[in-house]
Structure 1
Amino acid sequence: MSDAARGDVLEDQIDQWRGFVSRRRAISPADVEEMEDHLRERIADLGANGLDAEEAFLVAVKRMGNLDEVSREFAREHSHRLWKQLVLVPEAEDGAGGLSRWRELGVVLACALGAGLAVKLLFTSVDGEIAQIRNVAFVVLPFLAGWFAWKRRVTWRTCAAVAAVAAVPALAVNLYPFEATPGPFPSPGMTAVLAFTHAPVLLWLLVGVLHTGGHWRSHERRMDFVRFMGELVIYLALIMLGSVVLVGLTFAVLALVDVDLEPFFEDWLLPFGLPGALLVAAWLVEAKKSVVENIAPVLTRVFTPLALLMLAADLVALLVDGPLTTVDRDLLILMDAILVLVLFLLLYSISARDPMARAGVFDWLQLALVGAALAVDAVALTAMLTRIAEFGFTANKTAALGLNLVLLVHLVWSAWLMVGFVRGTRPFAAIERWQTAYLPVYAVWAGLVVLVFPPLFGFA
């Protein structure tokens, strides 16, 4: 390898190290620059002693200490800085920075108001509850996408391309001639339900393109989006739980004086509150990501063993439920939901892990979790194939079968890479890159279900 190539590899390694350190709590950009200077000095000293660039980098990082320990040390020395991070709009070092933060908050609130007005207009101008529900994602997520486009300064060409792709499923779910189930209370057919439920998945991944600033091919940017999704769930859950308590207490108090808030709740609070909570939660994730990251490792360590126990119980339930042809269809659907939940937990765990740390007990636990998920997926897949062989293909069975195959490939290769990591034959970066490289597969599958399944199965 030439000296120039070695230099490029070293710079890539330092970029990854800097990106990870930048996400640590209480470490400011100035601190990161100072630490990087120290790292480069150590690499230069080691290089002068005869080590090549890669060896010098690994030794220098090791001598600088564990990044979690470095983060804790900075937090102890700069506790006032951590407190400032928790303030709604932190005080900036200069007026321009403070103005920028207030402007960003103003843009977020404007987008939240716009999303609320769009939902209100949807519910007042579109007849039919089904038509309203299937279009909620198409009127809310564009405002979140617009905020990301503004914040990341995404080019107009990228925004136009994303909007054009998003328009395709929007037109499909509204213009396809879906058939309703016969009976006194007609309901949407299975292809309609599949299209309605998979369209938001495709739309959300398109929002991820704007979250990456249009650099959707970048592994680091896609991993940031994975991290964003996990942290968004945390913030959104906290906001929703707090809102439920607040609204419940308000209803209870006003009910004592014969004030009925239900019309206001249905006509105004829900249309504006739900999309507003999504936009505000997204802004909080972007503004306070270094603080939330401290919660992520704790959550993953708590829920990983619990998820492993849940999968073991699910596997037993599938195996003792009689012949695979008699396994309840709702149980198989529930198994798919659980596998998706486990996949999210795996992605979030990987995104929150120190990539420089050695394999430990928790990594073996995650490997066991993936192995249990594979066992459940294999049994569920066998049950689906058995049912299809006996009763034939339907839209619902084909969608479930396809999702299981997509999950199977994801989990199998994840397990293979994790085995290599815990045995010390593969770097952790290989596991990270596989997770982000596989994300477009889910977008493709969601697009197939939305666009191809309805005409393929006669819109029934």
Structure 2
Amino acid sequence: MENNNKVIENIADPTGLERLFREDPKDFKKDFAEAFEQNPDSPVLAVWHERLHFKEAATTEKDFFLQKEFLFMGMLAILAGISTRIIFHFVELQTIAPINLAFGVLPFIAAYFVYKNPPKKSVLYFLVLLFLISGVYLNLLPLEYTDSIILAYLHLPVFLWLLVGLAFAGNKFGNDSTRLAYLKFNLNFAMLYASLAISGMLLAAVTMQLFSFIGLNIEDFYFSNIVLFGAAALAVVTAYVVSRNLKLAKNVAPYIAKIFSPLVLVTLIAYLIAIIWLGKNPFLDRDFLLIFNGILLGVLAVTIFSITESGSDEKKNISDYVNFSLIGLALIIDSVALSAIMFRLTSYGITPNRIAVLGVNIVIWANLIWIMLSYLRFLRNKTGPSTIQDAVTKYLPVYGIWAAIVIFTFPLIF
């Protein structure tokens, strides 16, 4: 009798077995059962048997710690929601600045990372001290919206974001692969949080509409007590889900990066052509210069996240050339912005805003140069892709240092 078992036919062909499994897992498992019964001593089939029937050993101790971590996350989410609502109350009374809402979320995400990956006591004390100093200092500033104080408010999220990164890294804060993992975490966090937030907004819209049908207007109450609480708590829950290595976010993120990079490149080229065509001048138009810098920050963010999701294989692909082109355009934009701000400084004098914009542009320009040179060496086959990722991860503390300078010195100097 002729044997038509495809698994047996491909038992010496690993690629063939993998192809059969991907084409029809159900038929593969059926043929595999027969093949493994006939060839129980085959090491190849033994590996496939473990792959098909593997179940993670679940010990009571492990279940306990997983449950404990989940409960701790839930407690932090509730505390984040309550803290945010309390802070919002004082913001409404105009006794504190709205930027304080960041302290209703980010310290709790940092606390979850500290619990999940306990650092040395020195790192923990340093982290707590910086959160306390930044919170106290921020609220010692006059509640006036002068240029220097607004700049401190704008740079505070960057500083706190890097503190959360320190909590994420734990004892490995100097490790480039850990910094890269934190950047990937942020991309996955943003996508998952946005998806959940959209669902929450739909629920809020339906809820308010249902209550309006019976003559009750609950918009103010619902936003202040439900939406605000939920948005803060959801941030902690999302951090937990992403850090648990959610497969959906992990698999979607690289594709999102690959899709958005070329779209941003095409859009940016069209926008720059339109700028030239219409004769827009960032040297004389202050508002346009700010928009120009906003575009620069957006391109930098897209490029960095695309690089972090590019993988560590040695093969070049179209995405690398797209990223390289994006970096080139970003350098052009940054160079124009630097020239414009230098022109405004020499023509109209020194102000906190101009110094801050100049500093940001210099910091970004240096990072872009480093990334571009690393990419150039990679495209010429002189180095691997890890050098590009190093240009991103090793430079992250510089952004934090500049943010700290603006936050802690500008309000005092100006």
Alignment counterpart, residue 87 of structure 2, candidates 112, 122, 128: 122
Distance 1:144 1:323 in 2: 42
SS in 1 for 2:394: helix
Alignment counterpart, residue 267 of structure 2, candidates 291, 310, 331: 310
Contact kept? 1:117, 1:271, Cα under 8 Å: no
Deviation at 1:346, TM superposition (A): 1.8
What residue number does 2:117 align with? 152
Deviation at 1:384, TM superposition (A): 1.5
What residue number does 2:178 align with? 221
Give 5+ residue unaligned stretches, structure 2.
Answer: 1-13, 30-54
Offset from partner CA, 1:265-303 (integer Å, 9 cap, x none): 133113311111111111111123443221122111111
Alignment counterpart, residue 325 of structure 1, candidates 283, 296, 299: 283
What residue number does 1:174 align with? 139
Q: Call closer, same or farther: CA 1:356–1:91 in 2, change over 3 Å.
A: closer
Tell me, yes or no, if structure 1 residue 143 matches structure 2 residue 101.
no
Offset from partner CA, 1:129-186 (integer Å, 9 cap, x none): 47241211123211111111001022332111111122332232211346x4xxxxxx
What residue number does 2:128 align with? 163
What residue number does 2:216 align with? 259
Tell me, yes or no, if structure 1 residue 423 matches structure 2 residue 388.
no
Matches within 5 A, 1:71-150: 93-125=58-90, 128-129=93-94, 131-150=96-115
Deviation at 1:77, TM superposition (A): 6.1
Contact kept? 2:257, 2:305, Cα under 8 Å: yes
Offset from partner CA, 1:402-453 (integer Å, 9 cap, x none): 1111111111111111011111111111111111100000000100110111
Q: Call closer, same or farther: CA 1:74–1:230 in 2, change over 3 Å.
A: farther
Distance 1:71 1:156 in 2: 51
Q: Call closer, same or farther: CA 1:392–1:361 in 2, change over 3 Å.
A: same
Tell me, yes or no, if structure 1 residue 407 matches structure 2 residue 364.
yes
Report the count of equivalent residues. 372
What residue number does 2:234 align with? 277
Tell me, yes or no, if structure 1 residue 345 matches structure 2 residue 302.
yes
Q: Call closer, same or farther: CA 1:263–1:322 in 2, change over 3 Å.
A: closer
Tell me, yes or no, if structure 1 residue 380 matches structure 2 residue 337.
yes
Contact kept? 2:324, 2:375, Cα under 8 Å: yes
Distance 2:258 2:20 in 1: 19
Partner amino acid for 2:140? L
What residue number does 2:6 align with? none
Partner amino acid for 2:340? A
Contact kept? 1:311, 1:376, Cα under 8 Å: no
So what's the TM-score if we normalise by structure 2?
0.83
Offset from partner CA, 1:288-331 (integer Å, 9 cap, x none): 3443221122111111011112322343355443454322x222
Partner amino acid for 1:371? G
Contact kept? 1:311, 1:373, Cα under 8 Å: no
Distance 1:295 1:220 in 2: 20
Alignment counterpart, residue 405 of structure 2, candidates 441, 444, 448: 448
Give 5+ residue unaligned stretches, structure 1.
Answer: 1-63, 81-89, 181-187
Deviation at 1:196, TM superposition (A): 0.9
SS in 2 for 1:157: helix
Distance 1:102 1:75 in 2: 37
Contact kept? 2:90, 2:96, Cα under 8 Å: no
What residue number does 1:51 align with? none
Contact kept? 1:166, 1:203, Cα under 8 Å: yes
What residue number does 1:366 align with? 323
RMSD: 2.7
User: Who wins on radius of gyration, i.e. which is larger?
Assistant: 2
Percent sequence identity is 27
Q: Call closer, same or farther: CA 1:176–1:74 in 2, change over 3 Å.
A: farther
What residue number does 1:230 align with? 187
Contact kept? 2:283, 2:289, Cα under 8 Å: no
What residue number does 2:155 align with? 198
Contact kept? 2:91, 2:98, Cα under 8 Å: no
So what's the TM-score if we normalise by structure 1?
0.75
Contact kept? 1:304, 1:366, Cα under 8 Å: yes
Distance 2:154 2:56 in 1: 42
Contact kept? 1:117, 1:272, Cα under 8 Å: yes
